[in-house]
Structure 1
């Protein structure tokens, strides 16, 4: 028996049915995109399971893509078999391998600057690009799964083996990072790298980039479901409250800083919150906004200083929300309004994509 025959026999024993492979890739791509986006909102260790599942699903996807490429290799290498859908298939393959490769490289400690993006941001870009390409690929290669594909006990064992293998590889990667120090630094469960000192990066979400704000012309308004709305100039803010908090940015870094400013709870007490209030919305001069439950908002800080220094414009001066346990994009910069509300604000997700655009 030749080596090629041995490989084919081995692959045929462990590979699920072709249609199951194709639909499993679609399901896992959908899960990876959804879990990746959801992970942006997870900032406390009790949500670490989501990152674990994202990694295991990604490693399982590697095996499924390998099966797929092995099966169609002759159609790709033989140009006489190409058709209009071949270009989409090749592009989808390149993007899939790029998304998987950049994700695995980031986990093992690699990084690179691509224009203004780091390796994690490139991974996210390729992951999002997979969605339209996968749907387009399905449109040209649509074959619904059959009942027979799911009835074989062998298929269940194959998928169990793939998932267990993904989990084992993930644990092996963690062990390798610890033993060989391949990650270079101790990361959080989110994958973010530490940034020491007060010179942490200035990052903004999408297009938020306002001109520097003149504090003499700026004021903070607090309204909504309160008894006594407030309008405070910068000099009227009592900024003696301090809070040490960890800022974990979705671009892949984190920092622990001592922040100083005014407690949101003190502002709410001064305004008098209505009994039916449930959320507090923080609004930027750019239109960007985010909401927190009232009780969580009470423990947040509207910061005017970080460390011993006043906030710089890039870090959100004159006022920035500091929300422990939340990811960096939820720490609203350049805050000019606080609104107490009965309901949440689902439109805030849309605003994160369009705020700052003229």
Structure 2
């Protein structure tokens, strides 16, 4: 083990100037928030660099936060030096440590729940709270960097060393997970952990924000197909499910943003078959899937054709919690884009940017 003096030498060699540490923390927390939110939309393995960026930057923040605490620790431990802004500083520290601790614990494979939320959900919550807190904290001690802080080559090398160190630590953690066969070794590239089994009971019932409608009677439900089509359709449940059997089947992986994934055999009706039956206008570019709650998501027409509107999972009729009578199965998309309780399919000439807002407010009365 290295002596403490050697560790201090290494820390001194890579520590940026104090003002740059403060502004770097703000910038990197912004990067973490942006990459974390963007990662919610990435379900294809080709998106792995975004997740690596998020994790490496997170580990870099650990080092910068250590530098910051070493510099200001006396202000926190000496009550005589507390100021009205100290409470804000403490709240910012709690949010930062909470975000880092829950993120690291999740990567290591810890699968605990805090009431209704997984550790990953708690991590997201801490991260969203941290962004305004750190901005407010920096505003109370506003100091612009000075020219001498930007010794170009030296500063660049320090930040390169910090980011490289974050990458090495993250890669070492992945190797350790594999060698030790920890629960983290089974994570998907998104960080999601597996849920084994078949059917409704094999994976958790989750809802995005506030979506929680009353159970739907399949006998009173119907599916409408309308918009830029030649022949609008209205299909009863018995027209989609014939003699208890769905018309089409496919295996697909559902990766939920709350931190789990499952591979299931889904049965229902191909969206492409619906579009062919309705006759899609040549000008159509998107297909929007709308829930009974108003929740909605759109897919490009060609991608939508390959999607499935499922009525069954494995050999079971979809339960209400999993979106029955019908939910969208969109391979390569994250779970919040697999719209539950679908009642309308709308063929459109334009995209629907407002769907982002709707995901946050649907379900609220």
Q: SS of the residue aligned with 2:170?
A: helix
The answer to whether structure 1 residue 207 and structure 2 residue 207 are counterparts is no
Partner of 1:71: 71
| Contact 2:14–2:159 (Cα < 8 Å) also in 1 | no
Matches for 1:1-358 after TM superposition, within 5 Å = 11-183=11-183, 186-198=186-198, 199=201, 200-237=203-240, 239-358=246-365
Offset of residue 150 of structure 1: 1.9
Question: Where do 4+ consecutive residues of structure 1 move more than 6 Å?
Answer: 3-7
Instruction: State TM-score, norm by structure 1.
Output: 0.96
| Contact 2:177–2:185 (Cα < 8 Å) also in 1 | no
Change (3 A) 1:174 1:246: same
Q: SS of the residue aligned with 1:346?
A: coil
| Contact 2:184–2:193 (Cα < 8 Å) also in 1 | no
Paired with 1:82 and 1:7, the residues of 2 have a C-alpha distance of 30
Q: SS of the residue aligned with 2:150?
A: helix
| Contact 1:75–1:82 (Cα < 8 Å) also in 2 | yes
Stretches of structure 1 that go unaligned for 5 or more consecutive residues are none
Offset of residue 4 of structure 1: 8.1
Paired with 2:67 and 2:53, the residues of 1 have a C-alpha distance of 21
Change (3 A) 1:233 1:86: same
| Contact 2:318–2:324 (Cα < 8 Å) also in 1 | yes
Paired with 1:207 and 1:344, the residues of 2 have a C-alpha distance of 24
Offset of residue 280 of structure 1: 0.4
Name the count of aligned residue pairs: 356
Offset of residue 153 of structure 1: 2.0
Change (3 A) 1:299 1:78: same
| Contact 1:107–1:183 (Cα < 8 Å) also in 2 | no
Paired with 1:170 and 1:17, the residues of 2 have a C-alpha distance of 25
Paired with 2:30 and 2:106, the residues of 1 have a C-alpha distance of 21
Paired with 1:284 and 1:24, the residues of 2 have a C-alpha distance of 42
Stretches of structure 2 that go unaligned for 5 or more consecutive residues are none
Offset of residue 173 of structure 1: 0.5
Offset of residue 152 of structure 1: 3.8
Offset of residue 275 of structure 1: 1.1
CA-based RMSD:
1.5
Paired with 2:21 and 2:278, the residues of 1 have a C-alpha distance of 59
Paired with 2:103 and 2:152, the residues of 1 have a C-alpha distance of 33
| Contact 1:185–1:194 (Cα < 8 Å) also in 2 | no
